[in-house]
């Protein structure tokens, strides 16, 4: 191994590549190529935090969960799905396929035995919005033309549809129980804290997923589910149809009559993007045009400060930003970019805002030992360490990567439909109906063989730590270039 290390180091030095990061490196997004180059470095730094492709680790997961942060990490199960979706977008916007095999492995591994993103390893923290987040990433893979899963595995649309089907059944159950007139609860298992809470994250994500499935497939059944979700959100006042404000949730103990009015960009973004998908699906009806415009106006007013993304619920006091919230800005940028494609009348407004926000984001990436670590507080004009137990970097890094990617939206295709998509649309129509298929898995004991990158990464990291991590990452960047 020592000989291998020396040879690898010599090879990189011969290429004129430094194995140590440049201190105070500045990201450039002034041109398309500069933004792509910056994205590559941001993606590399982000993926060094991901350990799921190492021997003995679980594919798809960031280190965590927070309950075991002293030994593992600070991230919840859903945040692995968020990472996978971000990297699907990374491929779509840059064409760099360096991480595609890792993303495919993660999305399939966490799908669970029934390919509905209810894996045994996530039971203790399974919520409707978390399950839906993984489905959104799978749906994104279908829309972005991400390479198909291996033959015999559930295809991307299968996975998204399976989650939709499981959540429709829960919605039907809630309608029959006459609690709040429908909607989705936050948690899935009745024993979980939060089962008595119905929130805009869960129902909003379902609305988003159903809207996307409607547009992708042309099936009106999905559209009807999306309409029902919208009507419920408005009826219980989680969405203010007049102002576009999106509240967080309500308790079943009060029949959802008392609303928690806290606002989070994640929740508002789910619903804005879903609305834009329905606008596009319905060929620009006035109803969905008005709704999308109203939601967009509210988002720009609430979650941007001086045209820079700002998480209003926690940023005024830094210590209030949890590891969940530290990922929200990335979603905001990614979803506004897609909305600008689905509803072109918003393109000019969003493009300017996203460019200015991304510029502020990269300007403060001057922290840490590398001199290029990113913080969360973009409006402050400088790097501010989150510190404490709320973050170890993935959220902040993902946010900035997403912000830079959003500036590239003008050069990529809009989300595909089944008619325009390339490759396999569906490989297993039974997904989500209790039928186990090959592929996926969902627990740490799966016998699926690791990819060649997984094996080599594990050896490098185990043998030589930080130095070889840098070598492996620079190798990836060299391939991407």
Question: What pLDDT score was predicted for residue 121?
Answer: 84
* Alpha-carbon gap, residue 389 to 367, rounded angstroms: 17
User: Splitting the chain (481 residues) into consecutive groups of 10 residues, what average pLDDT does each group show?
Assistant: 36 34 66 98 97 95 76 86 98 98 98 96 90 98 97 96 98 89 96 96 98 98 98 98 98 96 98 98 98 98 97 90 94 98 96 97 93 94 71 86 98 95 56 40 27 29 31 35 35
* Alpha-carbon gap, residue 154 to 131, rounded angstroms: 16
Cβ-proximal residues to 466 (8 Å cutoff; 6+ apart), any chain:
none
Encoded tokens for 377: 């507080």
Q: What is the pTM of this model?
A: 0.84
Q: Are 273 and 335 in contact (CB under 8 A)?
A: yes
Question: What pLDDT score was predicted for residue 82?
Answer: 98
Question: What pLDDT score was predicted for residue 266?
Answer: 98
Q: Minimal CA–CA distance to 48: which of 388, 460, 435?
A: 460
Q: Are 217 and 416 in contact (CB under 8 A)?
A: no
Sketch out the chain's domains with CATH numbers: 23-52+59-434 (1.50.10.20)
Residue 264 parent element (H or E): none
Question: What pLDDT score was predicted for residue 64?
Answer: 85
Question: What pLDDT score was predicted for residue 14?
Answer: 35
Question: What pLDDT score was predicted for residue 450?
Answer: 26
Question: What pLDDT score was predicted for residue 217?
Answer: 97
Chain CA centroid to CA 217, Å: 22
Question: What pLDDT score was predicted for residue 392?
Answer: 54
CA distances from 400 to 56, 410, 466 (A): 29, 18, 23
Q: Are 362 and 27 in contact (CB under 8 A)?
A: yes
């Amino acid at each position: 191994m020592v000989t291998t290390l020396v040879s690898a180091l010599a090879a990189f030095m011969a290429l004129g590549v430094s194995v140590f990061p440049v201190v105070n490196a500045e990201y450039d997004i002034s041109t398309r190529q500069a933004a792509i180059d910056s994205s590559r470095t941001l993606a590399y730094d982000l993926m060094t935090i991901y350990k799921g492709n190492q021997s003995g680790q679980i594919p798809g997961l960031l280190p965590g969960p927070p309950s075991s942060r002293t030994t593992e990490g600070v991230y919840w199960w859903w945040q692995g799905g968020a990472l996978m979706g971000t990297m699907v977008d990374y491929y779509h916007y840059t064409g760099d396929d360096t991480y595609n095999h890792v993303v495919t492995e993660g999305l399939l591994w966490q799908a669970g035995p029934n390919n509905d993103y209810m894996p045994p390893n996530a039971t203790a923290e399974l919520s409707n919005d978390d399950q839906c987040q993984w489905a959104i990433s799978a749906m994104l893979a279908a829309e972005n033309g991400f390479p198909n899963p291996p033959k015999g595995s559930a295809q991307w649309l299968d996975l998204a549809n399976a989650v939709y089907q499981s959540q429709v059944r829960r919605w039907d159950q809630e309608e029959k129980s006459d609690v709040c007139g429908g909607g989705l609860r936050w948690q899935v298992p009745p024993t979980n804290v939060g089962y008595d809470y119905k929130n805009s994250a869960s129902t909003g994500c379902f609305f988003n997923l159903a809207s996307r499935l409607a547009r992708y497939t042309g099936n009106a059944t999905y559209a009807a589910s999306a309409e029902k979700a919208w009507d419920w959100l408005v009826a219980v006042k989680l969405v203010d149809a007049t102002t576009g404000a999106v509240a967080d949730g309500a308790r079943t103990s009060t029949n959802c009559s008392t609303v928690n009015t806290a606002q989070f960009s994640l929740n508002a973004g789910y619903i804005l993007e879903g609305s834009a998908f329905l606008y596009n699906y319905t060929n620009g009806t006035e109803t969905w045009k008005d709704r999308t415009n109203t939601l967009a106006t509210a988002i720009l007013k609430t979650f941007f400060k001086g045209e820079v993304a700002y998480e209003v619920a926690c940023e005024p006091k830094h210590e209030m930003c949890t590891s969940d919230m530290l990922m929200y800005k990335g979603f905001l940028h990614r979803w506004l970019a897609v909305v600008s494609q689905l509803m072109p009348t918003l393109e000019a407004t969003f493009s300017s805002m996203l460019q200015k926000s991304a510029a502020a984001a990269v300007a403060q990436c001057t922290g840490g030992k590398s001199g290029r670590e990113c913080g969360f507080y973009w409006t402050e004009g400088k790097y501010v360490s989150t510190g404490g137990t709320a973050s170890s970097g993935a959220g902040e890094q993902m946010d900035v990567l997403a912000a830079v990617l959003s500036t590239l939206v003008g050069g990529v295709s809009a989300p595909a439909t089944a008619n325009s998509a390339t490759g396999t649309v569906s490989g297993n129509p039974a997904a989500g109906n209790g039928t186990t298929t090959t592929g996926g898995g969902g627990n740490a004991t799966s016998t699926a063989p690791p990819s060649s990158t997984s094996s080599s990464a594990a050896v490098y990291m185990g043998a030589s730590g930080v130095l070889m991590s840098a070598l492996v990452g620079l190798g990836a960047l060299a391939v991407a270039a």
